[in-house]
A and B are shown apart, each in its own frame.
Chain A
């Protein structure tokens, strides 16, 4: 405590220019200051990378050397009519369900957020029910709807009724899409609700203060801002939906997975190539959606970032332009 007081000459001595406590003697710090600072090296990173690469290459090698992969057959099956038909059904069921559940999700989310206690309780119950019941159960339930309600129709309670047999209006595909949508709406409602809640309350206040009509407050001010956080979460949902659509196989609809399953039992020797074919198509679908996601997110990022991220194409162009200029520089030199 008192040492500083006892030795005031140390505390008061001004450091000589160009020196610091940690500098070894005989080194001129001023000179070092003119050179680029050497970044910290990470030798362990290189070791791990090498190890992983060796493992990957090992596996990669088996893709070519192990004859059981039967790549030739994969090529044969990949574009076969049966597979393409299954793919078409997967696409159709997913696309319709995705659109229906997004619209439905907005409705259920708005009901949940509304001041009306009946609506918000109903919406809560809906979400609770369809998030609790496994999709496969919902689907099988729907396919037995004919047993539960042999006819569907509308009428005055205890008065006249108009009805038709359930299976004449609802084809298996329609029932499948309804099943997928019913459970998907419950999830997307929560995604939409989270997005709406994430919008700053001041935005709604400003819209009210400007006298903007209620519906337009939502469509023009709140929703576009909510979409920024809704899109990544909802794309996640859609990717889940693509894979969930493989459950349609259990209610005798032949989607991509269903076709592969069927072909697998008809051609048991081709099971591996068939599974590879299904994997490839699911990868293609997911990749396509991820690309679309990038552009949608970029669109909704307008105004939230000072500069939009470059699209891959723009990035390639910049890179090429950079290479070109260095090449030119080199030839000139």
Chain B
């Protein structure tokens, strides 16, 4: 298997608080990795560092061997120009907890915005957007505005939007946490279909059942470090570490 993402010594501080303490993680191409952890454990920060929405104080993230957001400058890592970072982000899809759809644009405009901004012809971008909307089951909603859709539908649009640039990696930051319980299923099922498509997925979630079923690997993060990682069976059914056991007993209770 080839390594898609290589994270080394990821360290992030907010003032005196260190939220990531030198995290090392590699993710193989085409696999699904689920990141679990209590709130405030640094799991979202880790995810956001992968596409440089969060700048690391030390350490790096590499996608297929290319450093994201930084470059080698003499004997240091130096931050890249915003323009270059934006270009790199196009290879990494990101799905937010609160969807963050553009409320003033229609569904199809939301999905085709990024490709058009990168120079794809409007007609082709819309064509592609239609295919993606059909894939997430929202072909009939292309002229609606985000607020006219349910939360589950909005998140499916957000997934289609993240897919529009055909990224190799898609990051999901608690994609179902803002949804009513009965809408969680439709979003998870869309993510499930992506899991078999060869894309590399990294999902921060509290859906243990989903992790057990879909993940190739589960990573448990607490207090800015990776406490335990392995197959869903290892981590979820036979957790070795005390903190993992505590967390699971609380979540599954």
Contact = CB atoms under 8 A, between A and B. Distances in A.
- Whether A associates with B in a native complex is yes
A213 B86 contact: yes
Interface centre among A200, A220, A224, A305 (most CB of B within 10 A): A220
Contacts, number: 78
Contact of B146 (A202, A208, A221, A303): A303
14 contacts: A200-B100, A205-B53, A206-B96, A206-B101, A208-B89, A209-B89, A210-B90, A210-B113, A210-B161, A211-B117, A220-B113, A225-B104, A300-B104, A303-B145
B118 interface: yes
A216 B117 contact: yes
Given A208-B53, A214-B86, 13 more contacts: A206-B100, A209-B94, A210-B114, A210-B162, A211-B90, A213-B83, A213-B86, A213-B117, A220-B113, A220-B117, A302-B104, A303-B145, A304-B147
A298 to B, nearest CB: 13
A102 B185 CA distance: 47
B51 A303 contact: no
Interface in A288-311: 300, 302-306
The 6 closest A-B pairs by CB, nearest first: A211-B90, A303-B145, A206-B100, A209-B94, A210-B114, A211-B89
Interface in B104-137: 104-106, 113-114, 117-118
Interface in B157-175: 161-162, 165
B47 to A, nearest CB: 11
A209 B53 CA distance: 7
A303 B83 contact: no
Taking residues whose C-beta sits less than 8 angstroms from the other chain, chain B's interface range is 20 to 34
A202 B89 contact: no
Interface string A210-231: 1111101000110011001000
A205 B165 contact: no
Contact of A203 (B82, B92, B100): B100
Interface of B: 51, 53, 82-83, 86-90, 92-94, 96, 98, 100-106, 113-114, 117-118, 145-148, 161-162, 165
B96 A306 contact: no
A303 B98 CA distance: 17
A206 B83 CA distance: 16
Contacts of B92: 209
Contacts of B114: 210-212
Given A206-B100, A304-B103, A211 B145 contact: no
A306 to B, nearest CB: 6
A203 B87 CA distance: 18
Contacts of B94: 206, 209-210
Contacts of A211: 86-90, 114, 117-118, 165
Contacts of A305: 147
B102 A206 contact: yes
Interface in A157-214: 200, 202-203, 205-214
B83 A214 contact: yes
A304 to B, nearest CB: 6
Contacts of A200: 100
B104 A202 contact: no
A39 to B, nearest CB: 33
A224 B117 contact: no
A299 B96 CA distance: 28
